A and B are shown apart, each in its own frame.
Chain A
Amino acid sequence: NAGVTQTPKFQVLKTGQSMTLQCAQDMNHNSMYWYRQDPGMGLRLIYYSASEGTTDKGEVPNGYNVSRLNKREFSLRLESAAPSQTSVYFCASSGTGDYYGYTFGSGTRLTVV
């Protein structure tokens, strides 16, 4: 099915470990986004990529890096995980000039102990 695929779905890390969250879309969308969702705080934008080859910081970029590998893939890396990064992470995509709304992945639930 067309859409946004995120891997892994669940992950437990120890403080200081690193990991990469993967996201891929097959809708030929230009723009991709990473959000984190925390109870009572809604979704907050971490990084986004308006088009292939560009990335920009969102509201809460500290502690994260991203790579727009190609038009389909947009990865989020935690270099040294901290308990404050325990969250549910969502990837989304949208077409340029397209206000039909984001298409979201199903999320990655990350716990840092």
Chain B
Amino acid sequence: AQSVTQLDSQVPVFEEAPVELRCNYSSSVSVYLFWYVQYPNQGLQLLLKYLSGSTLVKGINGFEAEFNKSQTSFHLRKPSVHISDTAEYFCAVTMPSSGTYKYIFGTGTRLKVLA
């Protein structure tokens, strides 16, 4: 069965510093990978996705992620964070071969940007 692990439940970082949020997945078949962001008291918004092709994908708000098949990882990065990036970030995976479009979400990483 597929699963997603976000090892860091909270990540504090100072404003303008770089950040990496880690995501590892487990699956015996090919997967599609996503990062979502949730601002306080809001629903989730898609940040970026990896379906195929280039392993480095760029998303909104200056975020990017790199798909690493050998390490089964899809870590999210931003070179310089802003206070407004404070939010919870969720990694998600789906198996295109299943045809159900169901996503499995990680437990989330709460990013706290400090002034």
Q: Which residues of A contact B (CB under 8 A)?
A: 4, 31, 33, 35, 40-45, 48, 50, 56, 58, 90, 92, 94, 96, 98-102, 104-107
CB distance from B89 to the nearest CB of A (A): 11
A42 CA / B9 CA spacing, docked (Å): 10
B32 at the interface (CB under 8 A from A): yes
Asked if B34 and A41 make an inter-chain contact with CB atoms under 8 angstroms apart, the answer reads no
CA distance A48 to B100 in the complex (A): 9
B43 close to A106 (CB less than 8 A):
yes
Which residues from B are CB-within-8-Å of A102? 44, 46, 103
Residue of B nearest to A48 (CB): B102
Contact yes or no, B107 A101, CB < 8 A: no
A93 to chain B, nearest CB (A): 10
Which 6 residue pairs of A and B lie closest in terms of their CB atoms, listed nearest first?
Answer: A104-B43, A101-B46, A42-B107, A43-B105, A42-B105, A104-B44
A104 and B88 CA atoms in complex are apart in Å by 15
- Which residues of chain B are near A90, meaning CB under 8 Å? 43-44
Chain B minimum-CB-distance residue to A98: B101
Given contact pairs A106-B42, A106-B43, A99 touches B96 in the complex (Cβ within 8 A): yes
* 28 pairs of residues in contact across A and B, judged by CB atoms under 8 Å: A33-B102, A40-B107, A41-B107, A42-B6, A42-B90, A42-B105, A42-B108, A43-B44, A43-B90, A48-B100, A50-B101, A90-B43, A92-B44, A96-B101, A99-B32, A99-B49, A99-B94, A99-B96, A100-B49, A101-B36, A101-B46, A101-B49, A104-B43, A104-B45, A105-B43, A106-B43, A107-B42, A107-B43
Chain A residues whose CB sits within 8 angstroms of the CB of B96 once the complex forms: 99
Closest B residue to A96 by beta carbon equals B101
Instruction: Give the nearest-CB partner of A4 in chain B.
Output: B43
- CA distance in complex: A45, B92 (Å): 12
Q: Which residues of B contact A104 (CB under 8 A)?
A: 43-45
Let me know if B106 and A40 touch, CB within 8 A: no
Residue of B nearest to A106 (CB): B43
- Least CB distance from A25 to B in Å reads 12
**Shortest Cβ distance from A44 into B: residue:** B105
